[in-house]
Amino acid sequence: MLIESFYADALAHISYLLIGTKNAAVIDPKRDVDDYIEEAKKQGVKITHILITHSHADFVSGHLDLAKKTGAKIYAPLKSNFQFEHSPLVESDVIEIDHIKLEVLETPGHTPDHVSYVVTDTSRGELPVAVFTGDTLFVGDVGRPDLFPDLKEELADNLYHSLFDKLLNLPDFVEIYPAHGAGTLCGKALAAKRTSTIGYERLYNRALQYKDKKEFIEKLLEGMPAAPDHFRRSSAINSKGPELVENLPTPKAMTPERFEKEIEKGAIVVDVRSYIAWAGGHIPNSYSLDHNCMPFSTFAGWILPADKNVLIVADTENDVKIATTKLRRVGIDYEIGFLEGGMQAWAKSGKPVNSFRLISPENLEKKIQIKEDIELLDVRSKGEWDTGYIEGSIHIPAPELRNNFDRVAKEKPVILVCGLGPRAAMAASILEQQGFDNLEILSGGMTAWNSYHNKESACSSSK
């Protein structure tokens, strides 16, 4: 028995290949499934089982793609009521893969349908060795129960019992394999362990310290961050069964002329180049989503309308491919075109180009010192804002700007601040669409600001 993990870094999602002597299972597959197939080939096993822990909200799942490509059978909770062919599972059901036994543990809380899979290696012993906990129990945290706002109290109650009466009943030595890693944005936040054990979490998992149910629920629901818009959408897609990726249209190369026509017909432009290049020159009203330096899938799912054709501006065709994969991970499935020859080709064609300047920490400091009349707009998350900000800033998290742009002073120069730069450009692209033109981006964000002032950056995460 061997467990290989697959980390989808634009989603902080972790899926697993559970390998027996001849067969293998994939737990909670992402939508780009070739990685599993290749690893199985390398290991000399056949993927025969696809296990789903619950109806995922934050990404579109690849179970149908994987089933189609491998012939594997799908196993999912009975309560999920999935509309595609699968074997429905209830408490205590057992799945056997070679010498591996997986037992179903119903663990509702994050969602009403959630199950965990308890793994026993019968070739070694009769007690379990590991558990796939999905979004019920993470390393250091537990799943949020508030994605169904009407049910959140009930789900929090369920979660308490799933954790304390079920998962924590497992022996201390049992390894935990959750469906998500901790922070997932550019930088150090990645340095958080992705597996743990029941005993360690029992002692040190923050949420598990509240052993009184009332207190547990209270603390859990306190200060929960906003849920991205696409969570509801992904759930519905997953429940129905997503379109197979092989049936989705492949990205089409387009000339600037064709691109312009598609924009006129209502397509949106997503510019995935670095935020610096976007600032240097971009198609007016394009979305800036620096695909190398942010949780691209999460933000794309969050801020892009999902019912429009998408036009990609990228540096290379390979970047187009990667961005397309990441868009599809959150269910952006419409036709995709890309600008052949990139932004240079667009510029050459004489079509409109917009640009903004970056401002360095040094120059921003000067403006502040001479009290220039500027609007300092911090677009980081509540959690980051709480670790400190530039005096005089106002705070609107980037995704919320779509509805709160009128809180920003249009008549003043607006200087946008985020953690590293990319989200400030994303915010600038949202404001540009609302008619703002006098925008500057703090180069390097608060990380640069703090470095310039010789402060240790509190946190470079950027959710």
| Residue 445 interacts with a second copy (CB under 8 A): yes or no | yes
Minimum separation from the CB atom of position 149 to a second copy (A) = 31
Indicate the residue among 168 and 394 with the shorter CB distance to a second copy: 168
Cβ-defined contacts of 320-328 (< 8 Å, 24+) = 320/251, 321/251, 322/291, 323/270, 323/272, 323/291, 323/296, 324/251, 325/31, 325/32, 326/10, 326/291, 326/296, 326/297, 326/300, 327/270, 327/297, 327/300, 328/31, 328/32, 328/60, 328/245, 328/248
Shortest gap between Cβ of 201 and a second copy (angstroms)?
8
Cα–Cα dist 382/270, whole Å = 26
At 370 the three-state DSSP class reads coil
For the record, the structure tokens of 263 come out as 């924009």
The residue (of 241 and 281) whose beta carbon lies closer to a second copy is 281
In 20-135, which ranges are E strands?
23-27, 46-51, 73-77, 87-89, 94-97, 100-106, 115-121, 130-134
What mask of x and - would describe binding to a second copy in positions 146 to 175, judged by CB under 8 A? -------------------------xxxxx
Distance linking the first and last C-alpha atoms of the chain: 36
- Looking at residues 412 to 431 of the shown chain, list those that interact with a second copy (rule: CB under 8 A): 420-421
Please report whether residue 360 would count as binding a second copy according to CB under 8 A.
yes
Among 89, 118, 217, 293, binds a second copy (CB under 8 A): 293
Query: Phi/psi class of residue 435: alpha, beta or left (left: φ > 0; alpha: ψ in -120 to 50)?
Result: left
Select from 58-66, 213-221, 329-337, 359-367 the region that touches a second copy (CB under 8 A): 359-367
Q: Considering beta carbons, is residue 158 or 450 the nearer one to a second copy?
A: 450
Residue of 19, 104, 311, 377 that binds a second copy (CB under 8 A): 19
Q: Which stretch binds a second copy (CB under 8 A): 42-50, 240-248, 321-329, 387-395?
A: 42-50
Minimum Å gap between C-beta 210 and a second copy is 16
Specify whether the CB–CB gap between 78 and 65 falls below 8 A: no
In the bound state with a second copy, the residue whose beta carbon lies nearer, of 42 and 265, is 42
81 interacts with a second copy by CB under 8 A: no
Answer whether 269's CB lies under 8 Å from 283's CB.
yes
Burial 13-50 (b: 16+ CB within 10 A, else e): bbbbbbbbeebbbbbbbbbbbebbbebbeeeebebbbb
310 forms beta bridges with 268, 336
> Which of 39, 103, 121, 260 forms a contact with a second copy (CB under 8 A)?
121
Residue 435 CB, nearest approach to a second copy (Å) = 16
Looking only at residues 199 through 218 of this chain, which bind a second copy when binding is defined by CB under 8 A? 199-200, 202-204
Binding range to a second copy, per CB under 8 A, among 109-117, 235-243, 355-363, 383-391: 355-363
Return the number of other C-beta atoms located less than 10 Å from residue 212's C-beta: 10
Is 389 near a second copy (CB under 8 A)?
Answer: no
Which among 56, 24, 33 has a CA at the least distance from the CA of 178?
56
User: Candidates 56-64, 124-132, 263-271, 389-397 — which segment interacts with a second copy by CB under 8 A?
Assistant: 124-132
Residue whose C-alpha is closest to residue 73's, from 130, 24, 112: 24
230-269: which residues touch a second copy (CB under 8 A)? none
- Measured from the CB atom, the residue of 50 and 186 that comes closer to a second copy is 186
User: Which of 332, 358, 396, 416 is close enough to bind a second copy by CB under 8 A?
Assistant: 358
> Do the Cβ atoms of 85 and 95 come closer than 8 Å?
no
Q: Write each residue from 125 to 144 as x if it is in contact with a second copy (CB under 8 A), else as -, in one continuous string.
A: x-x-x----------x----
Q: Tell me the C-alpha distance between 146 and 57, whole Å.
A: 12
Site string for a second copy, 97-116 (x = CB under 8 A): --------------------
Minimum distance, C-beta of residue 328 to a second copy, in the bound complex (Å): 21
- Within residues 295-354, the interface with a second copy by CB under 8 A covers 315, 340, 342-344, 346-354
User: In sequence order, what are the beta bridge partners of 142?
Assistant: 137
Q: How far is the CB of 461 from a second copy (least distance, A)?
A: 11
* Rg (the chain; Cα; Å): 23
Q: State which residue, 73 or 351, has the beta carbon closest to a second copy.
A: 351
285 binds a second copy (CB under 8 A): no
Footprint (CB under 8 A) of a second copy, residues 178-197:
186-188, 190-197
Sign, CA dihedral 333-335-340-345, equals negative
396 and 377 Cβ atoms separated by less than 8 Å: yes
Number of residues forming the site for a second copy (CB under 8 A): 83
